[in-house]
Amino acid sequence: MAVESAKAASSRRKSNAFPYWSVIPVLLFIALFTLYPVYTAIKESFFLNIITQPRNNPFIGLKNYTEVMTSYYFLSSLGTTSIYTLATVAGVILFGMVAALVMNTSIMLSNFLKVIILLPWAVSTVVGGLLWKWILNSDFGIFSGILYSLGFIKEYIPFLSNPVLAKISLVVAHIWKEGPLAAIFILSGLQLIPKDLYESAGLDGGNKWSMFRLVTLPLLRPILLVVLVFETVTSILSFDLVYVMTGGGPADSTALISWFAYSEIFKSLNLGHGLALSIIIAIITLALISVYLRALKTDYTIH
């Protein structure tokens, strides 16, 4: 009897331990391809790492960080990135909200609109950037061509050669690319809101605006928080559109902080500066996410 009890206890221990053992390979895989590169990047950022001097890499402490943070390009790119992030995140959320509200209705063309609205999300960022570069071309761009044919302009507009217009063009292209994803998230949240709440609000004399403000928005807060965090990270780390459409120009007007890190590594060939910038970008991003989570903490749950 004691032997059988011991066997049963051993079997239970093995059964309880199995989930933990089954997770270990996944954790090792994540550590190999995520934690180890992060550790290496942090470590190498404290050394002199110039690609053309592979054998000259002494420990220099925080020098890489102080050099990039005191440079003109850091402050300039940080300011450009801040404006770009504010504009794109606000635009994406607004676009996603309007698109989701339209797709959530029962109008005749709602299914067709779902396909049209979601198409940009299926296009890769590089292809989308090339498409917008062609649309806004100062010599044969289709957008200027339409405005010219309608008589609104007398000559083609150099959208990507003007510092202000280049920034606006990047923001529009980003919203066009990322807006559909926000619309998907918000639409899923709208479809989870019980219709009884709207019926009750209607019986209490609420109009559409008050129902949207008092019912829809509060219950969408968890979804909007996810969209806000994701799109903030995407905007800060945005690189593909800048690389394809403007190359950081004209006159560094669209040089985001991610472009600054790229330039340090692949143009200046200073890996130490690039790694230090990457760590700074990660710290800024994590700080923003933490502020979002504290400021928009919500107890709303959709059943």
- Is the residue at 47 inside a domain? no
Between 8 and 61, name the one with better pLDDT: 61
| Burial of 138: CB neighbours in 10 Å, binned 0-12, 13-18, 19+ | middle
**Residue 270, φ and ψ in degrees, nearest 5:** -105, 95
Give tens-digit pLDDT for 24-72: 787 777 777 778 888 888 898 999 988 888 888 898 989 999 999 998 8
Regarding whether 230 and 114 lie in a shared domain, the answer is yes
Number of domains in the chain: 2
3-state SS, residue 59:
strand
Regarding whether 263 and 213 lie in a shared domain, the answer is yes
Q: The whole model's pTM is what?
A: 0.84
Q: How many CB atoms lie within 10 A of CB 81?
A: 22
Query: Which residue do the tokens 């054998």 mark?
Result: 55
Which structural domain range is residue 35 located in? 12-41
Task: Find the CATH number of the domain harbouring 289.
Answer: 1.10.3720.10
- Is the residue at 117 inside a domain? yes
- Is the residue at 17 inside a domain? yes
Regarding whether 155 and 223 lie in a shared domain, the answer is yes
The CA-based diameter of the chain, rounded to the nearest angstrom, is 98
- Is the residue at 99 inside a domain? yes
Regarding whether 92 and 33 lie in a shared domain, the answer is no
- Is the residue at 1 inside a domain? no
Give tens-digit pLDDT for 185-207: 998 888 888 877 777 766 666 67
